[in-house]
Structure 1
Amino acid sequence: MLVAFSVAPGTAGPDGSVHDAVAKAVRIVRESGLPNRTDAMFTTIEGEWDEVMAVVKAATDAILEASPRASLVLKADIRPGWAGELDGKVDRLEQALEEPAHEEDR
């Protein structure tokens, strides 16, 4: 499964930033050993249900160490029997973009 999630403290630092707390959460994801990717809005992690959710929980717990409240947004793509989809989905999209557009798609 793929899980894209964003976790942030309910209270920000004096400049309104949350990057220090979020860095602690992302560090936990990266140290998990599971395939992952972080962009400006979400971190996506790939693995089996229990292992992915354990990492999401640990990342959320890290945020709660910095703030008495956390906000968690989570989206999951659950596709049993598939692996390597962190890159596979993007590869298939890029392949489709390289193909000429069909006349009916215009």
Structure 2
Amino acid sequence: MSFLVEFSMFPTDKGESVSPYVSRIIKMIDESGIPYRLTPMGTVFETNTMEEALEVIHKAYKQLEPDCNRVYTVIKMDIRKNTQNRIEGKIKSVEEKLGKEVKK
């Protein structure tokens, strides 16, 4: 089973640039070993269970909780049975249909 999650999480009380706070979350995800892809507007990651997906979100919040009074979060999930490795697979499928590699 594949739980493909796209989310963004950041403090709203830390000024205009929040990259130092987002970096904490990305470091945690990177160290967890789960597949992910950082985008300009959020992060996509994939797990095998709902519990794992929600645990990543929970751990992300824990990175900000100590010194952020207000945190904004958006979460989207695409849950599909009998499949895995969709982060790369979905992109490859579109690239094949275009007949070329999409710029990264």
TM-score with structure 1 setting the length:
0.85
Equivalenced residues, count:
97
Letter in 1 for 2:93: R
Q: CA deviation at 1:10?
A: 2.0
Question: What is the CA distance between 1:65 and its match in structure 2?
Answer: 2.1
Higher relative contact order, structure no. (Cα contacts within 8 Å, ≥ 6 residues apart): 2
Shift of 1:28: 1.0
Residues 56-97 of structure 1 deviation map (CA, whole Å, 9 limit, x = unaligned): 110112122231111010111100221010100000000111
TM-score by structure 2 length? 0.87
Query: Aligned partners of 1:66 and 1:36: how far apart in 2?
Result: 25
Quick one: percent identity of the two aligned structures? 31
Which has more helix, going by share of residues? 1
The unaligned stretches of length 5 or more in structure 1 are 100-106
- Answer whether contact 1:25 1:62 (CA < 8 A) is retained: yes
The alignment's C-alpha RMSD in Å is: 1.3
What runs of 5+ residues in structure 2 fail to find an aligned partner? none
Give the secondary structure class of the aligned counterpart of 1:66.
coil
4+ long deviations beyond 4 Å: none
